[in-house]
Structure 1
């Protein structure tokens, strides 16, 4: 089950109070803080295209995932993104314990 940072991620991937999100360098911990951040993102429409994805099992029965792709938010230009996250099976439900997201912006100034 791979859901990227779309609005439906708020309801489709469970989080726990120990969950951590790093969004563009800002850190959020706990389900409430993460849901608040994701629900206040400054766009109304988003589309994405996945370029590559890699997944690995971890020794503690989690899944480590890395996703690279492009997204288009509202009328903004298409931008690349990277997202890495860990899913852990807790009580037969997949829970996102750690999530890191960055736009792939480069400043060659």
Structure 2
């Protein structure tokens, strides 16, 4: 016997409004990921505009605070070009009202290198008064076997 759609919604605790919010979060996460990695791969210096003065980046265990310092760190990475290939994007509502947690996994191909590197990255996006989002927290790790 099949349960009705309404019964399934009741059973999993989701109503139409909650589903709409989740779909919106997924759209925000996907759009952000596409934008972020396109900038990273083509114009890394422009990434600093996605952060603000209180943003924090943990890059391979090194903690960097503030948009300017984060921009410097990303610009000084020891390779000129790379290409990200995203495998998964997961999102959840953030404890910050209107915020989004985004978890990304994928592969990174450095120019001139034969083998790809696996990576994971987590972002906490928070809304701005202007209606966009800023990266409040960013954690990046290469994944070694």
User: What TM-score range do you get, normalising by the shorter chain?
Assistant: 0.7 to 0.9
Length-normalised TM-score, structure 2: 0.67
Residue 74 (str. 1) matches residue 119 (str. 2): no
Q: Which structure shows the bigger proportion of residues in helix conformation?
A: 2
| 8 Å contact from structure 2 (residues 94, 124) kept in 1 | no
Q: Pick one of 72, 96, 100 that aligns with 2:135.
A: 96
Length-normalised TM-score, structure 1: 0.87
- Show structure 1 runs of 4+ deviating over 4 A: none
Pairs aligned (count): 106
Q: Pick one of 4, 8, 11 that aligns with 2:46.
A: 11
Q: Which structure shows the bigger proportion of residues in strand conformation?
A: 1
Higher relative CO (Cα under 8 Å, sequence separation at least 6) belongs to: 1
Q: Distance in 2 between matches of 1:35 and 1:97?
A: 14
Question: Unpaired segments of 5 or more residues in structure 1?
Answer: none
Question: Unpaired segments of 5 or more residues in structure 2?
Answer: 1-31
